[in-house]
């Protein structure tokens, strides 16, 4: 195994293998400290970045951070690498690759062609050398468009997942949040519920309810109930209406096993949902969620830093052509991302890395009440993410998830950033909002609720 080193002044640092080098080069975060993988000093961190910058990208094809013999994610990464796509940058070091990405050579088109030639570890490596503005600039060049009942990820489009969670899945309580969201123009990425339990009967009721609402009002969007993938396969087999199949995924086989999944199961779910052909303008059917720290949390990280593990999860995701990939960045808690600063950097890294690997990245811009973060931190991340061209964010009444007990972006937040940056909803959904009178022809919200909906309230 190669030893990597860097010298600064009189001091020389050595890094015993690739995963150690990657870990030590990672900007400070509590999860790597918890795992005992973080650099021991600020100077050691920069020394690792200097050593990493000198590393030829080809090394990542020869040395795997987790042996393929024991990890199917590594096997997927090795087996799916496209050497032809890699050719244009195959002579570069990691440091040169950063320069290349920032240069005019990296365009929307050239980045799209390059994507299959990149491994998750290459992308993780270059992100560790980048400042926030680099992460934003390069990501903003990527355009990863997907479609189901509407078209997501187009230029100037920022979509939202309407997340109408309720502590006991009460149908009227869920409906109240859906109505609130629709009246604020939310829900073009998906209307997606985190159910209070994995109870099959309850999950089925929610699936039917969402499908009925979408069909009744002819809303050009898709539904999802975020239960375990095995529940959704069973639902498909029993004829329950499923638009998108959700699953949390991670970047190692062992972490995925802790979620009760493997690649074969994801493939089975993807195929089953695609065969339903429920999309009207596209057939991307998977909705994945990820987040730094999940592998460590399952004690399944193999000594690999949490950001590299996260990008490996994107290596899993891209294999299944998802409609949506959502990094739930601040949900995991302060033991992995301690404060607003760490959450913001991690979110931008995730978005950049996912975009470079070709994924339709969104972000649950969020924090928990035991993290050192607040609404101001979320405003900063939201603004930066939108400048970076994020595909979608969450939308929840007042930003307060009363079921999952954390704070994410509100319906108002999405409108704020659309107004500041001139962004819009998915075109089909935008058309629907105007048609039913939720928005005015100018695109601004109407002052009054459309009669179609206010009539419902009178009947209550």
Partner 1 sequence: MNELKKIDSDTVTENSWASLRRYTDARIAQGRSGVSLPTQALLAFQMDHASARDAVHIALQTEPLIEALKTAGYDSLVLQSRANDRSEYLQRPDLGRRLNQQAVATLEAYRQQHSEPVQVSLVIADGLSSMAVQSHAAAVAAAVLSRLESRGLSIGPVAIVTQGRVAVGDEVGERLGAQLLILLVGERPGLSSPDSLGIYYTYQPKVGLTDVRRNCISNVRPAGMSIDAASEKLLWLIDESMRLGCSGVALKDQSVSSAGVDSHKNFLLP
To partner 1, the closest distance from the beta carbon of 178 in angstroms equals 7
Quick one: 35 or 142, whose CB is closer to partner 1?
35
Nearer to partner 1, 55 or 178 (CB): 178
CB of 71 to partner 1, least distance (A): 17
Sequence-ordered list of residues with C-beta below 8 angstroms from that of 121, at least 6 positions apart, any chain: 18, 22, 60, 64, 65, 77, 308, 311, 312
Contact 391, 189 (CB under 8 A): yes
Distance in angstroms (rounded) separating the CA atoms of residues 408 and 413? 10
What is the nearest approach in angstroms of partner 1 to the Cβ of residue 427? 20
Residue number with CB closer to partner 1 (76 or 250): 250
Task: Report the residue number, 42 or 201, with the smaller CB distance to partner 1.
Answer: 201
**The tokens of 160 are what?**
């939202």
User: What minimum distance in Å lies between the beta carbon of 249 and partner 1?
Assistant: 14
CB of 248 to partner 1, least distance (A): 11
> What is the token pair recorded at 14?
């050595």
| Shortest reach from residue 401's CB to partner 1, in Å | 7
Contacts 24+ apart (CB under 8 A), 400-406: 401/163, 401/165, 401/194, 402/165, 402/166, 402/167, 403/165, 403/166, 403/167, 403/194, 403/196, 404/165, 404/194, 404/331, 405/368, 405/369, 406/330, 406/331, 406/366, 406/367, 406/368, 406/369
**Which of residues 24 and 29 has its CB atom nearest to partner 1 in the complex?**
29
Tell the smallest beta-carbon distance from residue 386 to partner 1 (Å).
14
Nearer to partner 1, 155 or 448 (CB): 448
Q: Which is nearer to partner 1, 19 or 418 (CB)?
A: 418
Q: Long-range contacts for 227-233 (Cβ within 8 Å, ≥24 apart)?
A: 227/195, 227/198, 227/203, 228/198, 228/260, 229/261, 229/265, 229/266, 229/269, 230/260, 230/265, 231/198, 231/200, 231/203, 232/269, 232/273, 233/265, 233/268, 233/269, 233/272
């Amino acid at each position: 195994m190669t030893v990597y080193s860097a010298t600064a002044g009189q001091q020389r640092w050595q890094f015993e293998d690739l995963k150690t080098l990657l870990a030590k080069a990672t900007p400070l975060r509590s999860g790597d400290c918890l795992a005992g993988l973080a650099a021991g000093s600020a100077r050691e961190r920069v020394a690792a970045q200097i050593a990493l910058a000198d590393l030829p990208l080809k090394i990542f094809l020869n040395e795997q951070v987790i042996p393929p013999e024991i990890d199917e994610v590594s096997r997927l990464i090795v087996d799916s690498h496209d050497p032809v796509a890699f050719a244009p940058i195959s002579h570069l070091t990691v440091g040169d690759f950063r320069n290349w990405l920032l240069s005019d050579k990296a365009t929307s088109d050239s980045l799209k062609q390059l994507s299959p030639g990149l491994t998750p570890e290459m992308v993780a490596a270059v992100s560790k050398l980048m400042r926030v503005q680099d992460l934003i600039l390069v990501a903003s060049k990527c355009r990863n468009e997907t479609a189901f009942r509407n078209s997501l990820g187009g230029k100037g489009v920022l979509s939202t997942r309407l997340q109408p969670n309720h502590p006991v899945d009460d149908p009227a309580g869920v409906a109240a949040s859906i109505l609130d969201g629709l009246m604020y123009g939310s829900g073009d990425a998906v209307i997606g519920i985190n159910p209070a339990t994995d109870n099959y009967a309850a999950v089925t009721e929610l699936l039917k309810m969402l499908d009925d609402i979408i069909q009744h009002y002819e809303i050009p969007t898709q539904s999802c109930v975020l239960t375990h993938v095995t529940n959704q396969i069973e639902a498909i087999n029993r004829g329950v209406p499923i638009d998108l199949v959700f699953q949390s995924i991670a970047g190692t086989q062992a972490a995925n096993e802790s979620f009760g999944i493997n690649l074969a199961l994801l493939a089975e779910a993807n195929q089953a949902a695609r065969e339903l052909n429920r999309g009207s303008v596209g057939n991307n059917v998977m909705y994945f969620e990820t987040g730094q720290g999940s592998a460590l949390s399952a004690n399944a990280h193999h000594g690999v830093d949490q950001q590299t593990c996260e990008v490996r999860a994107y290596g899993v995701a891209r294999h299944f052509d998802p409609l949506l990939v959502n990094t739930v960045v601040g949900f995991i808690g302060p033991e992995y991302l301690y404060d607003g600063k760490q959450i913001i950097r991690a979110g931008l890294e995730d978005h950049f890395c996912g975009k470079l690997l070709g994924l339709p990245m969104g972000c649950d811009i969020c924090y928990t009440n035991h993290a050192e973060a607040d609404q101001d931190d979320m405003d900063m991340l939201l603004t930066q993410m939108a400048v970076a061209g994020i595909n979608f964010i969450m939308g929840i009444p007042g930003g307060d998830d009363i079921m999952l007990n954390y704070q994410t972006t509100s319906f108002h937040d999405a409108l704020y950033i659309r107004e500041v940056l001139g962004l819009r909803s998915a075109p089909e959904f935008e058309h629907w909002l105007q048609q039913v009178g939720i928005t005015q022809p100018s695109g601004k919200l109407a002052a009054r609720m459309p009669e179609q909906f206010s009539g419902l309230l009178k009947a209550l």
